[in-house]
Amino acid sequence: MARRSDLVDLYKDVLGSTPATLVKTGHQVTAAQLSALIGEYAQAPSGEIGTHRDPFEIWPLVSHHTHGSRGLFGTNSRSLLPRTLTMLLIHDGLVVADPLQDVLRDWTEGHRDKALRRLQRTTEELAQVEGLLTHGVLRLTQMRPALQDTSRAVVLEAFGLTPEMRVFTNFAEAAVALPDLPASFDQRYVAEARELFGRFGLPFPAGEDSKAASERVKALAAAVIEVTWQVAVAANDPGCDIAVRGRLEQHLAEAIIATGLNADLASGRHFSRLALGEVPNLDAASLSVADALAIRRGDAFEAFRSSLRVGLDRLDADTSSGRQDYLAIASFEEAMRDSAVRLREQVSRASFKDTVISGGISAAIGAVPGFAGLTVDPALGATAGAATSLTALVVQWLYGRRRPSGSRVAERYLAMLAGGSRMTD
């Protein structure tokens, strides 16, 4: 069976039209079309993993998880395109969880009506980003490793968890029962939530009641689910980079990477998270796909991304030479601010200047120029049985993108897709 590059080809082959054409004509996908599409989709090989990507490019990985609007598809159709365009103007491209996997799951579980409704919504969402898919700046991944899969289970084990994540289900069940229990159980619940957060090296504010504590535990569980998926997929796909949205996820990602590397690799290396400063904010709601592609092809954005890569290389050299971290970071941030100013000036003079609005969007990116001493709570330490597997997984993630010569491993990145609230909020 021929390999398809993306879902647009699949729609054309099976339904005779692209998603955008179907939506434009007001076509509602029928049950027969659903059956044909899913039948073909389930048998067709997935697109190639993005090993051909430039090793210096940054392609954040966006999941299918809907908690906290982590995903693009299936969350908010009205914000789908603006969010996608904004991220594409900062990064070289995006790798997003394939939304047809959710349709396939509904179909396989026998929920045919639900699958049909989801397919219709997915078709409408794919129509919005069809141009980005065909131009290759948005790539879909079908990887959905389950919690029980080795690539995720070893990360969970390093956190002291099993794939059942029983500690979190216990908290959820206890929260339901609390209204019928004496007040002393409410206090005990909060105390145990505080202890759980302490095991992860996370702060827990004073004065919380059980309801607030329950919400915090839910958020932590969602962050664990997201980070384990990110690490598992990025380790097996060198064409994407770990990407997180909030401080909880950032903390967990940094901790697991440090834990995995500290198991085998030499000390004296470090993981740094760096603020890039302000990137010109575009009113993405009024920006078309064609405009965004034109902007990305322009010299202004190419120069900015080039400055970013040069800045990270210089930062790598500075830290390796023993220059004090705060000076290296300050130099990097200054270079990024200068580059952003030039970008803003060039964009404002372009034909799409009406899309430029005052202010900026904060972009943060964690570079991995090297690793030294990120402190990890002992409770996060991998067990002897998991250490080798976890280290292999993290090293696979780190070494997944090599320089063209193959003589040196290029940096991988942890990208902040949106500013997260403080962990104590």
CA–CA distance, 59 with 246 (Å, rounded to integer): 18
Measured between alpha carbons, how far is residue 405 from residues 241, 316, 367, 368 in Å?
21, 19, 21, 20
- Quote the pLDDT of residue 304: 76
The conformation of residue 298, written as its DSSP 8-state character, comes to S
Structure-block tokens of residue 2: 């021929």
In a domain, 127, yes or no: yes
Structure-block tokens of residue 334: 């200054």
Q: Total structural domains in the chain?
A: 1
Q: Percentages helix, strand, coil for the chain, rounded to the nearest 5? A: 55, 10, 35
In the chain, the amino acid numbered 407 is S
CA–CA distance, 369 with 417 (Å, rounded to integer): 20
Q: Does residue 316 have a pLDDT over 80?
A: no
In a domain, 117, yes or no: yes
Chain position carrying tokens 């940054």: 58
Q: How many of the other CB atoms lie within 10 Å of CB of 404? A: 9
Q: Comparing C-alpha atoms, which of 224, 260, 253, 230 is closest to residue 144?
A: 230
CA–CA distance, 199 with 219 (Å, rounded to integer): 15
The conformation of residue 402, written as its DSSP 8-state character, comes to B
Structure-block tokens of residue 252: 């967990």
Q: Does residue 183 have a pLDDT over 60?
A: yes
Structure-block tokens of residue 363: 């972009």
DSSP assignments along 41-104, one per residue = HHHSPPPPPSTTS-TT---BEE-S--GGG--STTT-HHHHHHHHHHHHHHSS-EEEE-THHHHH
Q: How many of the other CB atoms lie within 10 Å of CB of 256? A: 28
Confidence of residue 132 (pLDDT cuts 50, 70, 90): very high
**Neighbour-count burial of 202, counting CB atoms closer than 10 A to its CB (0-12 exposed, 13-18 middle, 19+ buried):** buried
**Orientation of helix 7-15 relative to helix 112-128, angle to 10°:** 120
In a domain, 373, yes or no: no
Q: How many of the other CB atoms lie within 10 Å of CB of 399? A: 13
Confidence of residue 363 (pLDDT cuts 50, 70, 90): low
In a domain, 384, yes or no: no
Helix (H, G, I), strand (E, B) or coil at 164: coil
In a domain, 13, yes or no: yes
Higher confidence at residue 344 or residue 211? 211
CA–CA distance, 314 with 330 (Å, rounded to integer): 12
Q: Determine the average pLDDT of the residues in 181-186.
A: 85
Confidence of residue 244 (pLDDT cuts 50, 70, 90): confident
The pTM assigned to this predicted structure is 0.82
Of 78-82, 312-316, 382-386, the one with minimum mean pLDDT is: 382-386
CA–CA distance, 79 with 284 (Å, rounded to integer): 9
CA–CA distance, 394 with 399 (Å, rounded to integer): 9
In a domain, 73, yes or no: no
Confidence of residue 423 (pLDDT cuts 50, 70, 90): very low
Q: Comparing C-alpha atoms, which of 70, 64, 93, 85 is closest to residue 129?
A: 85
Q: Comparing C-alpha atoms, which of 247, 163, 153 is closest to residue 200?
A: 247
Range of the domain at 104: 7-47+95-141
Q: How many of the other CB atoms lie within 10 Å of CB of 150? A: 11
pLDDT tens per residue across span 84-126: 887 887 788 899 999 999 999 999 999 999 999 999 999 999 9
Strand order in the sheet with 242-244: 242-244, 413-416, 356-367, 272-282
CA–CA distance, 398 with 257 (Å, rounded to integer): 9
In a domain, 390, yes or no: no
Chain position carrying tokens 């504590």: 213
In a domain, 22, yes or no: yes
Phi, psi (deg, nearest 5) at residue 60: -60, 145
Confidence of residue 215 (pLDDT cuts 50, 70, 90): very high
